[in-house]
Amino acid sequence: MLNVIQITDQHNDEDEDFNNGEQYIAPGAESQALEDEDDRVHKQLCTEVVKRKRTSLPIVWNMPPRQRIVEKCNEESQPIGEEGAILGKFLGTIARIGGLCPLNINDWRDLKKNRRDETILQCVQTKFVYPKSCEKWILKSIGRDWRKFKSSLKKAIFNPAIEKNPDIGRKALYKLCPDDVDKDQWRGLVKFWNSKKGKAITEKNIISRSLVKNSHNAGTKSYARWSEDIRQADPEKKRPHRSTVYLATHKKKDNVNNTEKNNRLARLEEIIAQRPELAQSANGRVAWEGDALQEVLGKEKNGHVHGMGLLPTPKRVYGRTPRYLKNINLTTTDGSPCDGEDDVRKEIAKMKEHIKRLKDRNNRKGYGNIGLEEENLQSNNSVVSRLPILPGKRKVMSTHGSAISLLVT
């Protein structure tokens, strides 16, 4: 069951701003009970997801303005669960809206120049509630779907037209603009595809694609969701090592046409059988340099970690030391304070106890001048920990006539 909440403390007018786009009109029936609405959303969302055509998810776009789907994320800030599946589908629809993600922009990173990324996030926030740490994943996911959408347009419309008539004019290509694509953006796409730079990138991408020898067969289900399902199936609820997730998402189904496993998968299974410690998650770590999967696939390229999907980077997952700290002597601690700091804390605790005794004594006697001394002592608590105190020396501080002394041995 999807986790859908009702926002009652404020009305977000941005919902209507984003829903007045080219495709959907938000319904006005808001009087239905929330429980019935949750069931309706759940059933219709599942129906939309299984369609093989372009997913439109009108039930999400047409949600009442105050409803939000609550996202859950894993340790890497990647959405998981059924809500994560719906969010991924929804982001795919965002990638096809020319007003938010223009197709005539050649580089996804250029969207930040006009702060379009902020507008995209505001649109997503009208339908979903998610941790702020998830924003980077959202933008990466939309960028990936945006590139896929452009590729699908080229494959379905542009390439067949060129193959059928190599001498076709640009104006004739302009007329092939799909109904769901802005005409000006389509013109920009055609110009880029016909340019020398566009043709060079196409050739490069064809070569890169030919080098992929072991693509996954997990469908639209992300690595994070696969990992979470495996974790839930584990009696100990431990996060699976990335090798386990990789095998689950890359094993080909046994059938008449494909009876042999990929060589990389066979080698990975062999390494896990011979050295299981290279594929066992421990202390929350599910990947490290030199584990079973890295032995098979080699080192990752910058900004990518094998078997963990979008967002995780080698620096973050492996805990690599920054370049400017490579020659510095570093160590790890158990989190306990050093001796000097511990002594200062003890002295502060003694002062607080002294304040309490004075307050209790003077309350019994009816004195009221202890308040000033208490205020002065407390105001110096934050100062004591920052004073340079040498071992064996006594520090004296005056506070309006009174004195505080600390001795560190």
| Beta-sheet strand order (sheet of 128-129) | 4-6, 67-70, 128-129
Q: Token pair of 370, please? A: 């202890």
Looking at residue 17, its pLDDT comes to 56
This prediction has a pTM of 0.67
> Does residue 311 sit within a domain?
yes
> Does residue 218 sit within a domain?
no
- 372 shares a domain with 308: no
> Does residue 329 sit within a domain?
no
> Does residue 265 sit within a domain?
yes
- 199 shares a domain with 227: no
> Does residue 291 sit within a domain?
yes
> Does residue 332 sit within a domain?
no
- 293 shares a domain with 242: yes
Cα–Cα dist 351/261, whole Å: 71
Domain finish residue from 180, 209, 238: 209
pLDDT at 259 over 50: no
> Does residue 286 sit within a domain?
yes
**Which structural domain range is residue 352 located in?**
339-407
- 140 shares a domain with 9: yes
- 282 shares a domain with 190: no
* Cα torsion 232, 238, 241, 242: sign: positive
> Does residue 217 sit within a domain?
no
DSSP letters for 91-129: HHHHTT-TTTS-TT-S-GGGGGGGTHHHHHHHHHHTTEE
What is the average pLDDT value for the chain, to the nearest integer?
Answer: 76
Looking at residue 293, its pLDDT comes to 87
pLDDT at 318 over 50: yes
Q: Of 20, 123, 129, nearest to 68 (Cα)?
A: 129
Q: Which residue reads 């702060």 in tokens?
A: 115
- 124 shares a domain with 248: no
pLDDT at 344 over 50: yes
Within 124-247, strands assigned E span 128-129
* Angular region, 155: left φ>0, alpha ψ -120 to 50, beta rest: alpha
Percent of the chain with pLDDT over 70: 69
